[in-house]
Structure 1
Amino acid sequence: MYIRCAFFRGHVKPGCQEAFDSHIQEHLVTLWTRFPHVLEVRVLREVESDSADTHLEMVLAMRFPSREAIAEALASTTRYESREASKRLFELFDGDVFHTVFSADQFPLPAEG
């Protein structure tokens, strides 16, 4: 499995947190969950960190079954709709955004008892 993440490194502009959060919920989540082949969408918000140098305001993590599935999702009309709708987030955000694709292994937890 593969996970494509968008890292929002920086901070929401002062006084814009409510608008930032509302835009995600009202406009972007519905698009992100419609990407072709996406198996899971998670929006992660930093609560604490052991690094004072970097603040990740948000990480968008999308799980896909294959690299080919990611390529199809990135070529889809949904992606272009999402990019257009994301422009509002960038107006409310002071920082940069970068993307990383991870290969992900999943391991079962040991049975209790």
Structure 2
Amino acid sequence: MITRYALFEGRIHPGQSEAFRAAVLDEVLPRWKAFPGALSVRVSFAESRDDGAPEYPMILAISYPDLTSVETALASPARTAAKAATDAVLARFFTGRIHHHVTTAHDHELA
């Protein structure tokens, strides 16, 4: 399985954490879920971090069966719509940058 992560490095505007989270879930999540070939979408909101660690108020993980599916999703109209929705939410609530990482996952279930 391939997972593409988006790390949102920066800060949510003061006092706006709950509004940011609600906007992401209401306005953007449905668009991420529409990516062709996506197997799962996980939105993780930060609760705490180690002293000195960079601030990532949100991490997005979208999993796909293979790299071809990732490429198809990134070239799709669904991604264009999701990017517009994401940019609109970020403009209201977030200062920082986003970087992406594509990984191969190896799950190990615990008995």
| TM more than 0.5 | yes
Q: Deviations over 1:28-74 (max 9, x none)?
A: 11111111010010001112222423011000000110000000000
Provide the rounded CA distance (Å) in 2 between the counterparts of 1:19 and 1:33: 20
Task: Output the amino acid matched with 1:64.
Answer: Y
The match for 1:103 is 104
Match of 1:56, SS?
coil
| C-alpha spacing 1:5/1:51, structure 2 compared with 1 (3 Å) | farther
**RMSD, aligned α-carbons:** 1.3
What stretches of structure 2 of length at least 5 have no aligned partner? none
1:9-28 to 2 correspondences below 5 Å: 9-28=9-28
Match of 1:14, SS?
coil
Task: Output the amino acid matched with 1:96.
Answer: R
1:8-47 to 2 correspondences below 5 Å: 8-47=8-47
Identity of aligned residues (%): 31
Provide the rounded CA distance (Å) in 2 between the counterparts of 1:88 and 1:36: 22
Shift of 1:107: 2.0
The match for 1:70 is 70
Provide the rounded CA distance (Å) in 1 between the counterparts of 2:38 and 2:95: 28
Provide the rounded CA distance (Å) in 1 between the counterparts of 2:51 and 2:6: 19
The TM-score with structure 2 as length reference comes to 0.91
The match for 1:50 is 50
Match of 2:57, SS?
strand
Q: How many residues were matched structurally?
A: 110
Question: Does the Cα contact within 8 Å between 2:21 and 2:45 map onto a contact in 1?
Answer: no
What stretches of structure 1 of length at least 5 have no aligned partner? none
- The 4+ residue runs of structure 1 with deviation greater than 4 A are none
Task: Output the amino acid matched with 2:99.
Answer: F
